[in-house]
Amino acid sequence: MRNTRNSWMRGARAVAAVACVAVVTACGGGDIGEQTQANQEDADAAGGECGELNMAVNPWVGYEASAYVVGTVAQEQLGCTVNYKDLKEDVSWQGFGTGEVDVVIEDWGHPDLEKKFVAEKGGDGSATDFGENGNVGIIGWYVPGWLAEEHPDILEYENLNDYASEFATSESGGQGQFLGSDPSYVQFDEAIIDNLGLDFKVVFSGGEAATITAFTQAEENKEFLIGYFWEPQYVHAEVPMEQVALPPYEEGCQDDPAKVACAYPDTPLKKFVSTEWSESDSTAVDLVRNFNWSNDDQNQVAAYITSDKMSPEDAAAKWIEENPDKVEAWLP
């Protein structure tokens, strides 16, 4: 758990609260702090309530950015008590049925979990699909920019074996090293390597931060590196990377995890929530349902956290202050 807010406040359903949220000039001037207080007073008068909001925080900074922006709006505008919980993806879904998790704000596509927890997919009904969050996830195989520039043929998977020895490390056992990230992420790289006949071995970095460090050093030191990476991710603006072309994704090519021999699909990222929570009268339900932003929005908050060394709370607050119109559109 990253942080537990200690005070209960009332949520906002009143028309007056909606009309005044974040649009300071429309309500006679004043700063955001004054406006938030006015919203809370209107909420008290309307009798709305948010209650607790249990937000899963999966282990990558883009997710953290989304979670804290929604959580901060929920706390400051709707009076929620927000509990941030550091959890892996599959563990987050298990929390829907126990009441430990209300919201997974960024899902990268887990048909196996949907079949287990979403009623429409044959699951137990503890999870509900709340639609897309506006981000589009791109997973792929990447090399540092210098390598793509000096050896452009390396961007075709058919040529990778010609360079396998250059990628070898003490951990790859004589084969080329393919750098995985967190093994809990959605990934089929071991199967892709085997099924395409590539002389590489997956070695997991352990997480996002270690992967970013590896790509940064490989670019700075002109080292051979190939690995799993993704977008949206703020570091693409700082470290040049190029994607290796794999056989194109086709519907069904990832249905059998052992037989995958294709690229990852571009994935519109979704929100999943606890069904029980979604049917409650919490004012945060509509906030989460309405939440939608772009890859650029997320990358901006992620850069505040990582490059500018801001806390997630401060990074979220900065973005919210800079984007009042977008925030207003999410509010109930």
pLDDT of residue 24: 36
23 band by pLDDT with thresholds 50, 70 and 90: very low
pLDDT given for residue 235 in this prediction? 92
Is the per-residue pLDDT at 117 higher than 80? yes
Domain-wise residue ranges, the chain: 3-136+268-330, 137-259
How confident is the model at residue 37, as a pLDDT? 55
Q: Chain-wide mean pLDDT for the chain?
A: 88
**Per-residue pLDDT at 237:** 85
117 or 31, greater pLDDT: 117
pLDDT of residue 29: 43
Q: What is the CATH number of domain 137-259?
A: 3.40.190.100
22 has a pLDDT exceeding 90: no
Of the listed ranges 34-38, 47-51, 126-130, 301-305, the least confidently predicted one is: 34-38
Query: pLDDT tens digits, residue range 252-265?
Result: 999 999 999 999 99
Average pLDDT, integer, range 99-126: 95
Tokens for 314? Answer: 């401060």
Say whether pLDDT at 12 is over 70. no
* Stretch among 27-31, 57-61, 322-326 having the lowest mean pLDDT: 27-31
| Residue matched to tokens 């794999």 | 246
204 neighbors 177 (Cβ within 8 angstroms): no
Region 129-144: what's the mean pLDDT? 97
Which position has the token pair 């009441």?
99
Q: How far apart, in whole angstroms, are the C-alpha atoms of residue 58 and residue 4?
A: 17
Q: What share of the chain in percent tops pLDDT 90?
A: 83
> Could you write out the DSSP letters of every residue in 229-278?
EEES-GGGGTS-EEEEB-SPP-TTTTSSGGG--SPPPPEEEEEEEEHHHH
139: left (phi over 0), alpha (psi -120 to 50) or beta: beta
> 261 burial class (0-12, 13-18, 19+ CB within 10 angstroms)?
middle
Q: Which residue has the tokens 């007073």?
A: 41
Comparing 3-136+268-330 with 137-259, is the CATH topology the same?
A: yes
- In whole angstroms, what is the distance from residue 327 CA to residue 184 CA? 32
pLDDT surpasses 60 at 9: no
pLDDT tier at 332, thresholds 50, 70, 90: confident
280-291: average pLDDT:
97
What is the reported pLDDT for 44? 47
Residue 241 has pLDDT above 80, yes or no: yes
**Higher pLDDT pick, 199 / 42:** 199
* Domain 3-136+268-330: which CATH number of 3.30.2350.10, 3.20.20.70, 3.40.190.10, 3.90.25.10: 3.40.190.10
pLDDT tier at 220, thresholds 50, 70, 90: very high
- 3-state class of 79 per DSSP? coil
Q: Is the pLDDT of residue 301 over 70?
A: yes
What is the per-residue pLDDT across 38-81, written as a single tens digit (0 to 9) for each?
A: 555 554 443 358 999 999 999 999 999 999 999 999 999 999 99
What is the rounded CA–CA span in Å between residue 243 and residue 181?
Answer: 16
Residue 191: C-alpha distances to residues 196, 213, 227, 253, 261 (Å): 8, 25, 14, 12, 7
152-155 contact pairs (CB < 8 A, 24+): 154/244, 155/242, 155/243, 155/244, 155/245
Which pLDDT belongs to residue 302?
95
For residue 19, which phi and psi values (nearest 5 degrees)? -65, -30
Categorize the per-residue pLDDT at 31 as very low, low, confident or very high, splitting at 50, 70 and 90.
low
What proportion of the chain, given as a percentage, has pLDDT over 70?
86
